[in-house]
Amino acid sequence: MQIGVLGSGAMGAGIAQVAATAGHDVILFDKNPAAIERAKEKLLKILNRLVEKGRLTDPEAKAIFGRIYFVDNIYAYKDCGLIIEAIIEKLEIKKDVFEQISDVVSKDCILASNTSSLSITSIAGAVDHPERFIGIHFFNPAPLMKLVEIIPAMQTSKDTTKRAKDLIDSWGKLTVLVKDTPGFIVNRLARPFYGEAIRIYEEGFADFATIDWAMTEIGGFRMGPFTLMDFIGNDVNYAVTESVWTSFYHDPRYKPSFTQKRLSEAGWLGRKTGKGYFDYSENAEKQNPTKDKVLGAQILWRILVMLINEAADALYLKIATKEDLDLAMEKGVNYPKGLLRWADEKGIVHCVETLDRLFDEYREERYRCSPLLRNMAREGKKFYSNPA
């Protein structure tokens, strides 16, 4: 099957690399010729680096690069069996582009969006034969990250879902099937990792470095929330938070923070601008955490119980299976373990009591306990191993 990729930025080029490595001819389209040239140069550098590291032979790298066709004419898509879009996160722009593509490709061609937070069903509404439209959400960098979320729209046929999932599985990826809801699995479940961390800082409970230390050294996370937000970019992370919050009709659980909004407005976007929550300039003074294990455990548990509550609510609302929810967080954002398995380990009753204590203290809906957790605590159940 010939694969089309729309958009030659880091994500689009990464998806093209994955598909070409799997043996497909790939049509990588961008309407900006300069962007196409940049993508070509970056892909060559990446492949050459893989050769230097011994992960590819020189003939393999040349064959992969030779299977990618860089084009600025959308009509080059006419023989493609799958198009994956990876452009700006603007709903109307995506709709317009897919409306154009619908006129170019055959009615059997699967059309897919790599959006991280927009409605798949809404984009599908702009497509002829919307039953062939689906969400295929890769994580950045696409060649390295194993997880891919497969998101059928309301209009998507079962055949399209199966064909898309089987194809991405054949590329060596781990796919999870997700209901079309804001943020899907990863970007929904991960909101408290950022939001509750910022809330703890805003309350003066701990500084950025201490919160990050608690999550990495005590919790086992690869990056703390502030280091990760600086890595992602505060503009990008804030935009996803705002999108999820708006899509959930301003549910307080997803409320964005003024702290991150102000950083974005100041242009302190993180590593890419040299300053965010931390200063990355050459002579910057490094923030040292307060290595108090009691304080660190309190920070970890407050953030973790909010993450667990979000995962439990996603299961309660049948967003995905418990196995896919846990797999997504382990492989999509490298959590040390699945959140529902973590809940079993910490104790469901302990989770409920903590959430109720937070709700009693703040009287805010962000701390409301999932009905599933409450019912499980009452009945003495666990997610993975229930008593006989």
Query: What is the set of active-site residues?
Result: 116, 137, 149, 187
> What are φ and ψ of residue 230, in 5° steps?
-65, -35
Give per-residue burial for 361-382: e unless 16+ CB within 10 Å, then b.
Answer: eeeeebbbbbebbbebbeeeee
172 Rama class: left (phi>0) / alpha (psi -120 to 50) / beta: left
List the structure tokens of 350. 């302990």
- Provide the Cα torsion 138, 315, 191, 341; round to 10°: -90
Q: 128 with 107: CB under 8 angstroms? A: yes
Peptide bond into 141 cis (omega under 30): yes
Crossing angle of the two packed helices 339-346 and 348-362, in degrees rounded to 10? 90
What's the gap between Cα 299 and its chain centre?
24
Q: 246 with 118: CB under 8 angstroms? A: no
Q: How far apart are CA 14 and CA 12, in angstroms?
A: 5
Residue ranges of the alpha helices (H) in the chain?
10-21, 33-52, 58-66, 91-102, 120-124, 158-170, 186-189, 191-202, 208-213, 225-232, 234-247, 258-266, 293-316, 322-332, 339-346, 348-362, 371-379
CA atoms within 13 A on the CB side of 193: 25
